[in-house]
Amino acid sequence: MAGFTHDRWMEEQGIPIHRGYYIEDLRTIDLGPWSVRGCDAAFIQLDGMPGIVEGRVQEIPAGGTIKPFKSAVDEFVYVLSGQGSTSVWGTKDQPQHSFEWSPRSLFVLPRNAWAQHANMQGDRPARMLHYSYMPLAMSAIPDPAFLFNNPFEESLRLGGSVEFYSEAQSITQEHIAEGGARRTLWLGNFFPDMAVWDKLMDRPGRGSMNRSVYISAPGTELAAHMSVFPQGTYKKGHRHGPGRLIVIPGGEGYSIMWPEGKEKVIIPWHEASCFVPPSRWFHQHFNLGKISGRYLALHPPAQFAGREERIEGARDQIEYPDEEAWIRERFESELAARGLETAMPDEAYTDPDYRWSYTGAAGS
């Protein structure tokens, strides 16, 4: 019998539960009929997720509409395939807010609000990845009826002045954790296409001429970030806490994950691949494609960042000169098999303070 309330509830739903370290393509995994939402669905419970975050794939049939639903927790929804629309409403006297989405859109379903999805294409189903903190909610309140069928109603609210489901805004802010540097923040509840967003900040600390954007949804603790790194490069190995679900909006490559001093797991990825680094496992991302690689990381609550677990002398990032030699050798071999060459400068492997020049470089 599973240990967490959420684990037991998942088992009772009678739909597939996909486990392990990664899923190569969320668009093709097996689903099953789920009476709670009136659609085909499956749970994603990769190592690093249990008890903290929930992943779930739902499918809307061709030309179909699923029944309205509500939840007591906020959800991120990432569109894996298809085109459609969603309507969201709060109290009965409040107007509905409707918007259209397409592949790689990301949006927020606010807690205690009703929502309904419709598929605008009559010849193919649409799939969505849902991400929430439901396991934590079920541990605090082990009553699914309270979390899904609660009659409590409230007006839609997001906090601040952000309008519901208008395109997100890009702002900059001071970021104390990175020495006061300015960072790009994408603020909103609707992000139309994660594969083309180009308002990115330089983030040289991760290597590979990496660029990132942080994502915040007003009125909720849901947060995420997306990183973009160029052809022929790879990022430095790093680690953090559990629950960070990574989905690929574009590009082709692989990642390596490992607990310190132990065997490594190789994860091939392309659009719609998904993986979750387990708590305090190092992981490292490699671009094997002819375009920039992108990954979208959906964050658990801030208390699971892993910073509290640091001890004096511990390292949470591996600099290129300190990594195992086979890391570079494998990357160059994989590129050569595709007729490509590395863009990693030799100096990066000898100078721990080496930094790329971002001047004139493309952002995506």
Other beta carbons less than 10 A from residue 336's beta carbon: 11
pLDDT value of position 310: 47
Phi, psi of 327 (to 5 degrees): -60, -50
pLDDT value of position 109: 93
Q: Is residue 355 part of a domain?
A: no
Rounded to whole angstroms, the Cα distance separating 337 from 122 reads 40
pLDDT value of position 248: 98
The verdict on 197 and 301 lying in the same domain is yes
pLDDT band at 359 (very low <50, low <70, confident <90, very high): low
Provide the b/e sequence for 244-283 (b: ≥16 CB within 10 Å): bbbbbbbbbbbbbbbeeeeebbebebbbbbbbbbbbbbbb
* Paired strand residues for 254: 268, 286
The verdict on 139 and 262 lying in the same domain is no
pLDDT value of position 264: 96
CATH at residue 74: 2.60.120.10
Average pLDDT over residues 320-339: 97
Q: Is residue 364 part of a domain?
A: no
Q: Residue 32: which domain range?
A: 5-148
The verdict on 141 and 212 lying in the same domain is no
Q: Is the pLDDT of residue 61 over 80?
A: yes
Rounded to whole angstroms, the Cα distance separating 280 from 179 reads 23
Give me the DSSP letters along 76-107.
EEEEEE--EEEEEE-STTSPPEEEEE-TT-EE
Q: Which two tokens stand for residue 104?
A: 């790689």
Average pLDDT over residues 144-162: 72
* Paired strand residues for 201: 212
| Highest mean pLDDT pick, 240-254, 301-315, 349-363 | 240-254
Q: Which two tokens stand for residue 275?
A: 């993986």
Beta strand 75-81 pairing with 84-89:
unpaired
Other beta carbons less than 10 A from residue 109's beta carbon: 23
Q: Is residue 135 part of a domain?
A: yes
Apex 161 CA angle, 158 and 164, nearest 5: 50
* Diameter over CA atoms, the chain: 65
Say if CB 231 and CB 239 are below 8 A apart.
Answer: no
pLDDT value of position 166: 63
The verdict on 177 and 140 lying in the same domain is no
pLDDT value of position 315: 83
Of 95, 117, 148, at which residue does a domain stop? 148
Rounded to whole angstroms, the Cα distance separating 31 from 39 reads 9
The verdict on 138 and 286 lying in the same domain is no
pLDDT band at 152 (very low <50, low <70, confident <90, very high): confident
pLDDT value of position 165: 65
pLDDT value of position 197: 81
Q: Which two tokens stand for residue 14?
A: 């009678």
Q: Is the pLDDT of residue 351 over 70?
A: yes
The verdict on 83 and 142 lying in the same domain is yes
If residue 331 lies in a helix (H) or strand (E), which one and from where to where? helix 325-337
pLDDT value of position 142: 94
The verdict on 97 and 191 lying in the same domain is no
82-104 pLDDT, tens digit each: 999 999 988 777 788 899 999 99
Residue with tokens 């601040």: 160
Say if CB 113 and CB 94 are below 8 A apart.
Answer: no
Q: Is the pLDDT of residue 349 over 90?
A: yes
The verdict on 185 and 140 lying in the same domain is no
Q: What is the mean pLDDT of the chain?
A: 88
SS3 state at 29: coil
Residue 282 Cα distances to 6, 83, 239, 259, 302, angstroms: 27, 36, 4, 6, 19
pLDDT value of position 176: 42
Q: Is the pLDDT of residue 306 over 90?
A: no
Structural domain total, the chain: 2
Q: Is residue 162 part of a domain?
A: no
- Which of 2-11, 43-52, 65-74, 86-95 has the lowest average pLDDT? 86-95
* Paired strand residues for 297: 225, 246
Q: Is residue 161 part of a domain?
A: no
The verdict on 135 and 181 lying in the same domain is no
Say if CB 133 and CB 301 are below 8 A apart.
Answer: yes
Q: Is residue 157 part of a domain?
A: no
Average pLDDT over residues 23-49: 96
Give me the DSSP letters along 302-319.
GGGSSGGG--TT--SEE-
Residue 106 half-sphere exposure toward CB, CA atoms < 13 A: 26
Of 88, 118, 148, at which residue does a domain stop? 148
Q: Is residue 155 part of a domain?
A: no
Q: Is residue 356 part of a domain?
A: no
The verdict on 313 and 176 lying in the same domain is yes
The verdict on 72 and 184 lying in the same domain is no
The verdict on 213 and 315 lying in the same domain is yes
206-238 pLDDT, tens digit each: 888 889 989 988 888 999 999 999 999 999 999
pLDDT value of position 360: 43
Q: Is the pLDDT of residue 256 over 50?
A: yes
pLDDT value of position 229: 95
Phi, psi of 240 (to 5 degrees): -160, -165
162-219 pLDDT, tens digit each: 456 666 666 665 444 444 455 667 888 888 999 998 778 888 888 888 899 899 888 8
Beta strand 211-216 pairing with 181-187:
parallel
Average pLDDT over residues 260-270: 95
